[in-house]
A and B are shown apart, each in its own frame.
Chain A
Amino acid sequence: MNQFVTLLVGGLFLGAIYALVAVGFVTVFKATHVINFAQGSVLLLGAYVIARSHASLGFALAVVLGVLVAAAASVAIDALLIRRIRRADLGTLAILTLGVDILLATELSRRIGTDVLNIGAPWGNDVTELFGIRIATSRVIAGAVAAVLVAGFWAVFKFTDFGIAMRSAAADGVTASLMGIRLNRVAAAAWALAGALAAVGGLFLTSFPAAGVTSGVGLLALACIPAVVLGGFDSPGGAVLGGLIIGVVSVLTAGYQEELSFLGRGLGGVAPFAVMLLVLLVRPSGLFGTREVTRV
């Protein structure tokens, strides 16, 4: 029982990180209708910049730089590549981002090689005791940061002019432009947000208990895809819930690996996708996704 609670809480904290990355994914999809597979390599880019620069800049400035570089890279993908073919179909745009992902990830792995770069977080390998459960400090901070960021985004989207412009553009782009809303700016803002969130996610995914920044970190972001699909693709709330579910499922299956050994080893990596498929069988549009409604 105690192990279960420990794993559950650990899973929720890991899920909070996934949720951040997933929210960025959904934001881009809502604003520009692009399924952004480059999110993984942008995440790696953010973590890489932080890991390379913390020695000279100090950790706080390194994080700021990493977030800015990731946001800029994300905006550049939209402004240089996507914007020209904005009206292309979903598949074309998704494959374009897949290409960008491969290019960026290849270049970053070339630079990282076989090294494991330390992310340089001041909390290092500290462990915090929370209601009798021992848990990595970095995960606790990740959870807190994720909660603050998600709440902040919710408030911005709900109450500010910028949020209204964003939601109008997501609902009906042509009409929004007739109302004077500049779609290219909305798109750039969405991509910048996604990049920044990916960098923050990257920071925590490479902190303890993870070893550090390796060339394989970009693949970790793949776990966010089941989170997004599970949540329903166009629902930020769904992305948060999906992230938490995936976090819990992967930590639980990894924790009970021995008991589940009849299902084979490495179940932790497969379980998120299995859960995604199960949910889609029951709810084909995800937990909170908009169902396609056609009037005959």
Chain B
Amino acid sequence: MVEVAVTPPAVLDVSDLRVSYAGAVKALRGVSLSVPERGVVAVLGNNGAGKSTLLRALSGTLPAHNGAITGGTIRFAGRALSSDPAAIARGGLVQVPEGRRVFANLTVEENLRAGGLAAPDQAARAEARAWIDALFPILRERASQRAGLLSGGEQQMLAIARALMASPQVLLLDEPSLGLAPKIVEQVGAVIREINERGVTVVLVEQNAAMALSVADRAVVLEVGEVALEGAADELAESDAVQERYLGMATQAPVPGHRVASRAQPLRVDDLTVRFGGLTALSDVSFTVEPGSLHALIGPNGAGKSTCLNVLSGVYAASAGSVRYGERELTRLRPHRIAALGVARTFQNIALSPAVSVLDNLLVARHRRMRSGFVADGLRLPRARRERAEHEARVREIAALIGLDELERPVGTLPYGTRKRVELARALCAEPELLLLDEPVAGMVADESEAMARAITQARAELGISVLLVEHDMTFVMGMADRVTVLDFGRRIADGTPAEVQRDPDVLKAYLGGAA
């Protein structure tokens, strides 16, 4: 390292940027960021910190999300940034959107051509195309396939390649590692380094701090719409503040819950098989959730975990096998009948009414227990009012147990991690005996998933319920589960206590690949 005092000229300069949504919610409160030419700058932060908002401001897509810049400036290549997304992209500031967003019904080749539409000329397109063929040989092999058929990792590569077709001066990457296996994340990191070596400036927005800091020269950490930390990437990676917040160094696994007294009955899954057309999503899966226990169902992406949960809650039909809760067979019951037996679930994708307050979202779950009809309720008869007050009191108790306050706020304005806990609380408000949780910590950073783990353990201890937890993050369940069932490619490959499962060679192979 040579010590140079001169800072390279900033190609992208954000100064005191303020953004609000719907004229009210302040998402960015004076963010400044300077991206030097040919640099790699990482933007880190929790969900709700303002990372996506910053990217939307840079790509001109705020109006599409009902947001607006209320103050500050963005300068790109020495000029004020255009407000038209297409003009920004054609000017050389190109974004790879979050969730990849490849055009699923177009072929790989057509996706690349779509990206090339923003290139300055034919020569630039041809040059970019040759480079992409070298960088991503897999895309050349699958050029005539529909993009929707690619795996998640391949789609991410295609999304990056598509943006490179525009010969960008600055490439904005929104959460490129989201939902990808560790090995693929490593590949994405390597690709980003290679792109940068070709002279492209990179702005990398990531929750995965370890990956982002290993690639970036500089980093900023956003927190509730402001820059909380800023500095050279290697220094930040060493700093205690970042290690605690984003790498989970100082976090401790929650204490495993002991078996609690429970009203619940055992849930027995026997030789469950689910086929979609010719595809067998689950084959001969069996396990038992003992009353009052916390049972984890884990496995890599695509193992069949969500399918299993969807059969248990009546959303999908079983092709063969049985699911019994106590004495009742669940496979032929409609979802609301299963709910009436005391089996509640949460969803992987949040399914709450965003414009309605937390309290009202939770009260919906009490519907099954409310006796007064809508007429009595609408007329606010004393009986109905008394009933509502009772339910409201119980809902507040459960919310407190889960660590929710601000019950009057519309759900849509809450950060992601909190919304997931509202979902958990809503399921609990139905007073279930058995709770099915679908990836409760997906997409969360360390402190958010810790809060979720506390909420789950607490709820089980206080309410005496059984919990079936579906999760692909093995470390999360190890600290809290009594028993673990591991699925891979629709088959059960292990079943036992966390300690037993952790040592199982098949499990190691499924999770770590050939390296184990």
Contact = CB atoms under 8 A, between A and B. Distances in A.
Tell me whether A and B are bound partners.
Answer: yes
Interface of A: 87, 161, 164-165, 167-168, 171-172, 174-183, 295-296
Given A177-B85, A179-B117, A180-B117, A167 B110 contact: yes
Contacts of A179: 89, 94, 114-115, 117-118, 162-163, 166
Nearest to B91: A180
A168, A183, A296: residue with the most chain B Cβ atoms closer than 10 Å: A296
Interface string B128-144: 00000000000000000
B349 interface: yes
A174 B86 CA distance: 10
A122 to B, nearest CB: 42
Contacts of A168: 103, 106, 114
Contacts of A164: 106, 110, 113-114, 117
B106 A177 contact: no
Main secondary structure of the interface of A (DSSP, over half): helix
Contacts of A177: 60-61, 85-86, 89
B86 A87 contact: no
Given A178-B61, A180-B166, A296-B347, A165 B86 contact: no
A181 B113 contact: no
A164 B61 CA distance: 21
27 contacts: A161-B117, A164-B110, A164-B113, A164-B114, A164-B117, A165-B114, A167-B106, A167-B110, A171-B103, A171-B106, A174-B64, A174-B85, A175-B97, A177-B60, A178-B85, A178-B89, A179-B89, A179-B115, A179-B117, A179-B118, A179-B162, A179-B166, A180-B117, A181-B86, A296-B315, A296-B348, A296-B351
Nearest to A168: B114
B322 interface: no
Nearest to B148: A171
B105 A171 contact: yes
B105 A181 contact: no
A180 B118 contact: yes
A160 to B, nearest CB: 10
B59 interface: yes
A211 to B, nearest CB: 44
Contacts of A174: 61, 64, 85, 97
Interface of B: 59-61, 64, 84-86, 89-90, 94-95, 97, 101, 103-106, 110, 113-115, 117-118, 162-163, 166, 310, 315, 347-349, 351
B85 A167 contact: no
B144 to A, nearest CB: 13
B89 A180 contact: yes
A178 B95 contact: yes
A171 B64 CA distance: 16
A171 B104 contact: yes
Contacts of B163: 179
Contacts of A180: 86, 89-90, 94, 117-118, 166
A172 B103 contact: yes
A164 B162 CA distance: 13
Contacts of B347: 296
Contacts of B84: 182
A175 B103 contact: yes
Nearest to B147: A171
Q: Which 10 A-B pairs have the closest CB atoms?
A: A180-B118, A180-B89, A177-B85, A175-B101, A168-B114, A182-B86, A180-B90, A171-B103, A178-B95, A164-B113
B100 to A, nearest CB: 9
Nearest to B345: A296
A140 B329 CA distance: 63
A176 B162 CA distance: 11
Given A87-B64, A178-B94, A167 B103 contact: yes
A20 B347 CA distance: 44
B63 to A, nearest CB: 9
Contact of B114 (A176, A182, A183, A295): A176
B104 A181 contact: no
A171 B113 CA distance: 15
B97 A178 contact: yes
Contacts of B310: 296
Nearest to B85: A177
B267 to A, nearest CB: 19
Contacts of B115: 179
Contacts of A165: 114, 117
A174 B89 CA distance: 12
A167 B109 CA distance: 13
Contacts of B110: 164, 167
A171 B110 CA distance: 13
Contacts of B89: 177-180
A295 B86 CA distance: 31
A235 B113 CA distance: 22
A181 B61 contact: no
A295 B349 contact: yes
Nearest to B104: A171
A177 B86 CA distance: 5
Given A164-B106, A178-B85, A182-B86, 18 more contacts: A161-B117, A165-B114, A165-B117, A174-B85, A175-B97, A175-B101, A177-B86, A177-B89, A179-B89, A179-B117, A179-B118, A179-B166, A180-B86, A180-B94, A180-B117, A296-B347, A296-B349, A296-B351
